[in-house]
Chains A and B, each alone.
Chain A
Amino acid sequence: MPFISELIKRRWIFIGFALGAVLLSIPIPEGLTPIGMRALTLVIVSFLFFITEPIPLPGIALFIAVFEVLLGLAKPTAVAQSFMSDSIFFIMGSLMIAAALVKQNLDKRIALAIVRVTGPKIQWVILGLVTVSALLSSFIGEHTVAAMMLPVGVALIHFSSRDGRQVRNLSIAILLSIAYGAMVAGIGTPSGGTRNAIMLEYWKELYGIEMTYFSWIIHAYPIIFLEIPCIAFVLYRTFKPEIKDLSRAIAGLRKSVRESGQMTKEDWLTVAIFMLTVLMWMTISDTIGLGITALMGVLLFLVAGLVRWEDLNNSVNWGIILVYGGAISLGVVMKRTGVAEWISLSFLRWMEPIGIHEGLPLLAAISLMTLFLAAFVSSGATVGLLGPITLNIASLSGTSLIAAGFVTVISSSFSFLTPVASPACNIIYGSGYLKRSNFLKAGWKLLLVSFISILLMSLSYWRLLKL
């Protein structure tokens, strides 16, 4: 029996391969080359695997690499090269820097700094948590921020009441403000989320568009400022915390932080090196590449002895780097074999009669498509798979490639509805304080607000930037 149950657990592999065999044997649709059909098959099967996860995600990346070669879509060296580019260096370096940052005891200082600014009123504390989570996450990524801020949230809850049942709504509001704050802000800078690096790679590799760290911030950051007050307001109104005044919690927090003493020299040095790295990203990364700049930062941390290699080894998710390599590699193949073009043309042919073929309606459609997909697949895989298509649609219809790219990336980070789709929500959900339904209750409102914000951005701000 164990054998059979193992087989059943992996049924999606068989379904995937059967689907692949069927797709390879049916007549090739019009407008697609034989090689394109093979690439399309690989895309569809990988996509199925990304959704159902019959094997671990990094395994799917290996599957993509193997079958790109076996199906004759690319030469082995080309596959290897598409797996490791400056963007992947950048992803790797950012994750390592985040690991170095989280190792220091900065979370306690941050917690204290937040309440010092906001005071004891709950609505301001929520706004403070959203803001700080968002600002941090835009530079070091949502995973790390969620891990850093979770204890802060738990501390606030724990110190406000001994009995968790009496502050249930307060717990939800506080923890969700961290999760959502970290989640939406990952698109603020290229280093905020791995999917951003994928989009940068597509722009550069597929269309030759160079987007610098600084101009990314100019384009994307305003939407965070739009989102922050919305999240705080919606969470406060939806969950109506039981306790309005957190003085007791703040006193407890203060005591707990005092016990751990002053900021040490290491803490300061960590912050300094991080600031320097961000500065380098904004200035010299245009010439030496984001990835190399990130690696310089990591080197500095290692030279200063602030992080041991073991820490990096344990806290960086090396498998995820492989996943992004696989996603980018598949995207490049999609573009080169004409699959992206074929899907885009079919999409436009369907959409033209109802007027969704250029400009704002098209961006809205892209956004909806991404929002839908991001609810099932991780944001990285969403951008990896959709990126080449949305960019191609935009280029065919004469819509701005940069606007289409940003709409894809930004929408991919709005997975408010379930705890599973975004890493930040996943980590916060893993704390055991939240139920699935909590995400749904506030999430749909925020989803609506965010969708409108994206449209507003494309209508006004990006028009001003002449995209």
Chain B
Amino acid sequence: MKFLMCTDGDENAESAIRFGGKLAKEMNADVSIVHIRPPVSASSRPQLITARKKLGEWNFNIPGIEYLIRAKEILAEIGLTRSGPEKEAKVSQAFRANVDGATELHLIGEHGGLVRLRLREGHPVEEILEEADLGDYDLIIVGSSGHQGISRYFVGSTALRVADLAACSVLIAKNIREDDNFLLCTDGSRLSERAEILGAEMAQVLGAKVTVLSVAEAEEDRESAEKLTRRAGMILAQMGVEAQQKVRMGHPSDEIIDEAKDHDIVVMGSSGSSAVRKFFIGSTPLKVIEYGECPVLIVREKRGKIALQSMN
């Protein structure tokens, strides 16, 4: 597994990193942390590079690095990395410029996993997606400040758009809590099956409790919904995770959001529905991310990987 965690230096991002780091430690995943700096207009780029060189001559970190260093400290705190404190003083000098379009620093993780700190520049959503593409990641973890009101449309939109557009699974971490109570949503699609497997894997390593939820939109769907939860329960049982089963009636996103109040993480599959459908109906996972109060893990099949396998 390869995780990509994004930080913008605020508290939500830090708790997202703490959570992702714990998960990565348990799942033996490679971790990259990326920070995206706002773009500098191309016309002053050569001078900006000069300014950074000058900052280096004065032994100052280039801007943005401090967030990555903070993230690195968090990873060390939870025991993911084992870089010694004696090397940290000169950490900025160890950053190499322009590796796949980013400034980066390598660290070796506790279990031999690789931790990379990367600094990119540009529009946050585009850069995160490009980074995820380049590094062939399985999971992107983005913090989202659970702002209410008008600011949600500006602040939260990065996480939302990443969740919408990414080709791999995305974990939107907001209001992270200490407990790990999983809510696994299934609708019988192929992707929700993937979600069940990945969710079960995570629940297993974290030792979490799991509830399987299926939402029936009408009374006549109740039976098939129950069948779905039973099947999901069986998949989980095979992996050694015990799960409660639950069926609710009503509109899927509303019911999931409501049920999620008693849980700490929502796991659901998403096929990245067509733009037309999204426009008129809206996609259930995106609604849960936008209006829900807890972290959401959107599970996707990685398109790139599948293409490769079928070619072989």
Contact = CB atoms under 8 A, between A and B. Distances in A.
Nearest to B60: A154
A314 B45 CA distance: 10
B48 interface: yes
A146 B47 contact: yes
A209 to B, nearest CB: 28
B63 interface: yes
Given A146-B47, A431-B63, A426 B40 contact: yes
Interface stretch (A294-302, A316-324, A398-406): A316-324
A1 B58 CA distance: 46
Contacts of B41: 420, 423, 426
A314 B51 contact: no
B44 A316 contact: no
A433 B54 contact: no
Interface string B18-49: 00000000000000000001101111111111
A99 B51 CA distance: 12
A323 B46 contact: no
B54 A150 contact: yes
Nearest to B121: A430
Nearest to B272: A1
B55 A150 contact: yes
A465 B153 CA distance: 55
A150 B51 contact: yes
A316 B46 contact: yes
Interface string B172-184: 0000000000000
A378 B43 contact: yes
B50 A147 contact: yes
B37 A151 contact: no
Interface string A423-442: 10011001111000000000
Contacts of A102: 50, 54
Q: Specify which of A1, A107, A423, A432 lies most central, judged by the most chain B CB atoms within 10 Å of its CB.
A: A432
A370 interface: no
B79 interface: no
Given A57-B42, A151-B58, A319-B42, A433 B51 contact: no
Interface string B225-250: 00000000000000000000000000
B308 interface: no
A432 B46 CA distance: 17
A154 B48 contact: no
Nearest to B54: A151
Contact of A143 (B47, B55, B63, B275): B47
B161 to A, nearest CB: 11
B45 A317 contact: yes
Contacts of A323: 43
Nearest to B45: A317
Contacts of A433: 63
B188 interface: no
The listed residue with most B CB atoms (<10 A of its CB), out of A108, A420, A423, A430, is: A430
A120 to B, nearest CB: 20
A155 interface: yes
A147 B60 CA distance: 14
Contacts of A314: 46, 49
A433 B62 CA distance: 11
Nearest to A320: B43
Contact of A427 (B42, B44, B60): B44
Nearest to A256: B58
B57 interface: yes
A56 interface: yes
B275 A426 contact: no
A212 interface: no
B156 interface: no
A323 B43 CA distance: 10
A423 B51 CA distance: 12
B42 A105 contact: no
A408 B286 CA distance: 50
A148 interface: yes
B64 interface: yes
A144 interface: yes
Contacts of B38: 430
Contacts of A146: 47, 51
Interface string A44-72: 00000000000011000000000000000
A174 B60 CA distance: 17
A158 interface: yes
B54 A107 contact: yes
Contacts of A147: 47-48, 50-51, 54
Contacts of B64: 432
A155 B57 contact: no
Nearest to A422: B44
A63 to B, nearest CB: 16
Given A1-B275, A432-B63, A151 B57 contact: yes
Contacts of B50: 99, 102, 144, 147, 315
A212 to B, nearest CB: 28
Contacts of A427: 40, 44, 47-48, 51
A247 B63 CA distance: 25
Nearest to A57: B43
B8 to A, nearest CB: 11
Nearest to B51: A147
A395 B174 CA distance: 63
Contact of A431 (B51, B59, B275): B51
B60 A155 contact: yes
A155 B47 CA distance: 18
Contacts of B47: 143-144, 146-147, 315, 317, 423, 427
Contacts of B46: 314-317
B48 A430 contact: yes
A151 B43 contact: no
Interface string A275-313: 000000000000000000000000000000000000000
Contacts of B54: 102, 107, 147-148, 150-151
The 3 closest A-B pairs by CB, nearest first: A432-B63, A147-B51, A143-B47
Interface of B: 37-38, 40-51, 54-55, 57-60, 63-64, 275
13 contacts: A102-B54, A148-B51, A151-B55, A154-B55, A154-B58, A155-B60, A315-B49, A317-B43, A423-B43, A426-B44, A426-B48, A430-B37, A432-B64
